[in-house]
Amino acid sequence: MGSVDSSTPFQLKDAPIDGHRPIKVRIIGAGYSGIYLGIRIPQRLRNVDLRIYEKEESVGGTWWVNRYPGCACDIPAHSYQYTFNPNPDWSAFYAPQREICAYLQGTAEKYGALRFVKLLHKVESCRWDDNRKKWILTVQRLDTKETFEDDADVLVAARGNLSDPAFPNIPGLESFKGEVMHSARWNENYDFKNKRIGIIGNGSSAIQIVPSLQKIEGAQLSCFVRSKTWITNPFGDNVMRKLGLDPDILEFSPEQRREFAENPEKLFNFRKTIEVDGGTIHDISIRGSAMQLGAIDAFSEAMKKRLSKKPEIAEFLIPSFGIGCRRSTPGPGYLEALVEDNVDFITEPIEAITPAGVTLKSGRSVLIDALVCATGFNTSSAPPFPVYGRGDLSLETRFKPFPTAYLSLTVDSFPNFFMMLGPNSAIGSGSLTVILENEGDYIVKCIRKLQKEDYATMTIKPERVHDWSEYCHEYFKSTVYTDTCHSWYKSEGGSGDRITGLWPGSTLHALEALRAPRWEDYDWEVIEGNGRNRLKWLGNGWSVTHVPGEKEDEWGGDPAWYIEPRFVDFPLPGHPEEDETLKMRPFSH
């Protein structure tokens, strides 16, 4: 064995083993992810200096920013909520934006997350100081224009990938004299009545905008569409039939909502059916699977039927690529709107935008009063503010030629830095919000390990990031996501050969991968002054649970917690292997 330096006498750390050393955590963004951490961190941890910086006027994230007409959830609302706070009062199967935003605001208030949120605080830059082992943040207060500096032990980017609007790169866009708006920067005061409206795009937002604007009195729509897309409902129709609902009636009646509120078992069973359906259609993502081929036949016929008034639209719109290569959207009313007399479906490429309208490649001019850019977000790029890790490496540079992050959460050379809904976080089917919850749980575990075991930093090993990237690339080869289509799931703005938007597997696969952190995949640095003994964190031999309190018979916890029924794992007599809980989900360390 090698010699051990014993020149400096070892001294115990005078603190209980399960104590909570002070730690500063800063979170960027107060949408689904930031709110979740604003609940779980104070619930599970102690002695945390927590702040959540949000640049908008309210919490809600993308559901605060996006206010275009028709904006709604495109998966069942009962699967788009926190598991611990089910909402019995959704007004529709696909809840509208205002309800989702109100739900997030209500959840943040109900569970105390608003205590930590700093609204109108825009993070301008984040830089790692390797001497101090701290993140240094530059933050601007948007109401006063004051700029200040803050620091953190742990930094979490919870801004999501639907927060940085992408405008089309078309010559002359800035010259247009009419009203221009992005779907995520909607002008709610603009009157579309009797207006000629141009709409660029046919992704999720355009599919919701078009039916709403088409109904406005005197409106004339010109829909500029270059991409084929599936207008499908793999998430909803089947499960609605299983639940005894009519897929054509998306609103819940007052009686149904009252029953959900008064009968928790009925609400749970409703939710359970939706989750089981979403969790068992993963096979649709596999190229050539029976489920995929059957869906292509069914949805092709359904689209042709809905577009029978203008069959030429169906001929252009129905893709040759598999269902799911681009994000599938139910699109209630979209195809029906396209065949109306006040909608012009234009597939010719745009040459330029002029002060008065749009010029097509053929030279044809389309005069418009308002231009709606339903062109999505910059989803394959780094955050819109500089983040610098070790060696002054920028995240933007690290994300070239394509963004990648270990388990979608963390990047080498960026200590104590985590992302929620980072690269490869989204899902093709199943519950996205439960993935976000499990990402948050993983991050909370990491913060606790840093805090409890006296580590200054944890940094994912570059070898593991490479392994993850290799795994992702190989996994997606057999899926429809690598078919030939333009999709925000892909690198290089939607046309690259890497899938950077989706988790490489099912939702349930993601939950298991995130369940127990593999600490061996990280490099660790102990806090300064801890010396050579890596077990100094064991403390002074005490547990906080039996440290005497101020009063008689008062302790820091419960000295006999281990016999409390909530902590006891009772095996089944005779056949413990028949445990129903472990049949539902295998045991994990």
Give the pair of three-digit tokens for residue 92.
């529709």
State residue 326's pLDDT score. Answer: 92
Q: d(Cα 510, Cα 504) in Å, to the nearest integer?
A: 8
State residue 162's pLDDT score. Answer: 65
Give the pair of three-digit tokens for residue 105.
């605001």
Closest CA to 377 of 184, 116, 155: 184
Give the pair of three-digit tokens for residue 364.
């044809």
**Does the reported pTM lie above 0.85?**
yes
pLDDT < 70 regions, the chain? 1-7, 161-163, 233-236, 379-381, 530
Give the sign of the dihedral formed by CA 205, CA 211, CA 212, CA 217.
positive
Give the pair of three-digit tokens for residue 356.
């008065």
State residue 1's pLDDT score. Answer: 42
Most distant pair of Cα atoms in the chain: their distance: 88
Tell the residue number behind the tokens 């509120």, with chain if given.
261
CB 41 within 8 A of CB 50: yes
State residue 376's pLDDT score. Answer: 81
State residue 15's pLDDT score. Answer: 94
Closest CA to 134 of 156, 152, 121: 152
Closest CA to 234 of 511, 426, 430: 430
